[in-house]
Structure 1
Amino acid sequence: MGKTKITSEQNRLSNTHVPDKVYAYSLQVRHALYELLNCKDNDTVSIEVLDDVSIKKDDGKVEAIQLKSVLSNSNPISNRAPDLWKTLYNWLLSVKHGELGIENTKFKLFLNVERTGYIVDLFACADNFEKAEEAWEKARLEFFDEYNNELSLGSQYALYIRSFFNTENRTLACKIIQKFSLQTTENNHTVLLYDKFCEIAVIPEDLMENVFIFMLGWVDKKTAELIEAGRPMSIRYKEFRAQLVAITREFNQKLSLKELAPLPTEDQIKDEYDAPRKYIKQLEFVESDYTDKLKAISDYLRASTNRSIWAKRGDISEKSLSAYEEELITKWENKKRIINLTHRDFSPEDQGKLLYLQCKDENVNVDFLSVPGFFTPGCYHALSDELAIGWHPDYIKLFKREC
């Protein structure tokens, strides 16, 4: 095959690094959610206000978080990485200009991958001012010799290095080092975030993924609305928590199938009673009374009508309904065997009546969806109408005799 010619337009587009920029923004949104999970009542999490992400605590303390997204083998925290020194330089300027208070601010560098660097490790281990001064001096030797002569500096980071290691800025730089921390992740950020969400959010396991996806979308939508309104992208923890509670409650409610059809009328019940229905005959075989048969008709009609509506709406699938019927048949078979072993002295009619009562009184869910009380017995009646199950031990013979 011949060589593919890359046009100047294609080359220009490839050099814009759009995927990197999109990922960097999505990382800010996801990390805002990550930090909200660690917050308390009056805390606020912001994007692009004091830093990529920042947390303002109720007591006035601030955490400024600089995020570095890495989609290649590059190392943004190597000794001469421009991104590292630009971050430290920006923190220094923010402190000097009063945007960040040096006494109440922590400075965090977060990487979405696992990377190391000699100078960064020095800074991260300096947990008091003396150690910070020592780390500053050792790091300075990477760029200046013992006589204070500047070593070769790349144009991409020379300004940042000269400012951070200027003796006039030494005290502020050392205080930043003292309050500096580094966080990296072995897994990708999405895995880290989801694990944190599962750890913190008190949500039923079967709801976890759906609620997580919703809350991530909610943070993204909330920040977009704030941008459009010309306001800072800041989310109060109380607002976040209220939304989390509300959507969890809503999803919980969605896990219940609600009755949507009107109750059957007296005429409908009478017509059904007068019709030659096998499920009613099944109840007669075990000597059920008139009241039991009327209740069975009501359950059967309600289950049948609502099942059709739920399937049409997409609330349940044909596959789920088939699996549900198989589960009911399995339960019926097991109960029948148990009764046959434990109640052999019962008459066939009493064995059948006991089997019927045990089956209809156990509510069986459709997958994770809880069902109204009429649905399980109504579905049992539908199966008995098809002769897939029966209450009397000899129901098949009895129907043949009727014919």
Structure 2
Amino acid sequence: MSTQFSAHAQALGYFYQVRYALFLLLKASDDSCIYIEKLDDISFDNDGTPLELIQTKHHINARGSLSNASSDIWKTIRVWSEGILDRELDEENTKFTLISNDIAIEGSAASLLSAGSNRNIEAAMEILINTAETSSSNSNKKAYEKFLELTDEQKKAFLRNTIILDCADNIAEAKEKILHEIRYVTRPKHVESVYERLEGIWFDKVIKHLLTNSNSSISHRELQEKLHDLQEQFSRDNLPIDFFNAIVPTEKELKEDERIFVEQLKLIEISNRRIEKAISDYYKAFKQRSKWIRDDLIIIDELNSYEERLIDEWERKFEIMIEDIGKEKSKDIFIKKGRALFNWMDGEAEFNIRKNCDEPYVVRGSYHMLANKLKVGWHLEFIERLGYLLGNITGDDQ
């Protein structure tokens, strides 16, 4: 197997683990808490005491076979056996679950530890002991040793609480299960969009959980709150906000046709730091509006109507600025009054695209998008000073 393929399979297995953990927590009871790779792949507990440990094993070329010497089974048994031997796990009161998208061979220990009618703890124990004592597998050697270190009573209690679920969903099927769980909390046409954002929040949460070596759990109630927040964002008078923490480009990284609004700010001598903030608002609003359109959450007509509202309000303020300047036409007054107009937009303008969608970067960024087309401006002579830039981009004569 190539290194590239192996790494791909390993990454896919990890994504499967995290996605399946999301599914399990969604359908768990209200007081459930989950850990990712604290004691195992996934664990549910109550007040810090493990109640259920879950190992997930995902293979690209399923369905393979779970034999008596399967490394998937023995790696899992080793982890659990070490936990019991170290007294981190109570074999009498902890539920051990192995979920695999491979197939348990008929008559194997894995098949005898399933939840089906052929479940037979004593027979499974005999097979596992025999395998551990006779198998020549070097990769399983440590696992065999740890399992055999358990007393017979510990083995019986351990296996009595062990369930192996074979033929489990693959990573794509796990997604379908999550979609099934959330379909009741949002409109059918928004289910995919809610799922995408929920999984994004979940992966971000898990990554932070692992990077900080957190001992804290992720609760069902916390997940439900996130889901309810998303549900509210998809109501008729709201829109989801997805790019608040987006990494934004620098001025140098902007394309030629994205720099006119920056030149507008330079006309009124806005500081570099504020220009950086403006670029951030522009980029986030552009990405956000594009995503709303792709997700079929908004139509072009609504965006056009919104921009007409923004332009109308700007025109009123711009006319006031013209009156205030009067005959006092000088470079300094143009800059001063233009900056005041920009400050109004940057700090006071509150025009929600929908009633409850009040994220400031949408308003500010939309104004910058209009400024980039010279439909609005801050300096009294912005058209005269910068019109040639728009002509250079479009190829029109000015």
Cα deviations by residue, 1:106-163 (Å, 9 ceiling, x for unpaired): 00001134454511112235999x95234312443445xxxxxx53511111332243
1:206 to 179, 182, 189: 189
The corresponding residue for 1:164 is 147
Further displaced range: 19-28 or 225-234: 225-234
Q: Could you say what secondary structure the match of 1:110 adopts?
A: strand
- Find the counterpart in structure 2 of residue 299 from structure 1: none
* Matched position secondary structure for 2:235: helix
Matched, 1:14 2:4: yes
TM-score by length of 2: 0.54
Q: Residues 70 and 316 (structure 1 numbering): CA distance in 2 closer, same or farther, change over 3 Å?
A: same
The answer for the alignment partner of 2:283 in structure 1 is none
Indicate how the Cα distance of structure 1 residues 212 and 69 shifts in structure 2: closer, same or farther if over 3 A, else same. Answer: same
Aligned 8 A contact 1:75 1:81 in 2: no
In the alignment, the residues of structure 2 paired with residue 114 and residue 318 of structure 1 have an alpha-carbon distance, to the nearest angstrom, of: 53
Identical residues among aligned pairs (%): 23
Mapping 1:54-93, distance limit 5 Å: 54-57=43-46, 62-72=51-61, 75=64, 77-93=66-82
Counterpart secondary structure, 1:124: coil
Matches for 1:4-403 after TM superposition, within 5 Å: 13-14=3-4, 17-57=6-46, 62-72=51-61, 75=64, 77-116=66-105, 118-124=108-114, 131-142=120-131, 150-166=133-149, 169-185=151-167, 187-199=169-181, 201-232=184-215, 234-253=217-236, 315-317=298-300
Greater shift in the superposed pair: 196-205 or 84-93: 196-205
Deviation at 1:320, TM superposition (A): 12
Q: Please tell me the residue identity of whatever aligns with 2:170.
A: N
TM-score (norm 1): 0.54
Gaps of 5+ in 1: 1-10, 144-149, 257-309, 322-369, 372-403
Structure 2, unpaired ranges of 5+: 240-288, 305-353, 356-398
What letter is aligned with 1:242?
Answer: E
Tell me the SS of whatever aligns to 1:95. helix
Go from structure 1 to structure 2 and tell me whether the alpha carbon gap of 1:126 and 1:61 turns closer, same or farther (over 3 Å shift). farther
Query: Between Structure 1 and Structure 2, whose CA radius of gyration is higher?
Result: 1
8 Å contact from structure 2 (residues 27, 181) kept in 1: no
Task: Give the match for residue 4 of structure 1.
Answer: none
**Is the 1:34–1:197 Cα contact (8 Å) retained in structure 2?**
no
Stretch deviating more after TM superposition (105-114 or 71-80):
71-80
Question: In the alignment, residue 194 of structure 1 is paired with which amino acid?
Answer: E
* Aligned-pair Cα RMSD in Å: 3.8
| AA partner of residue 250 (structure 1) | Q
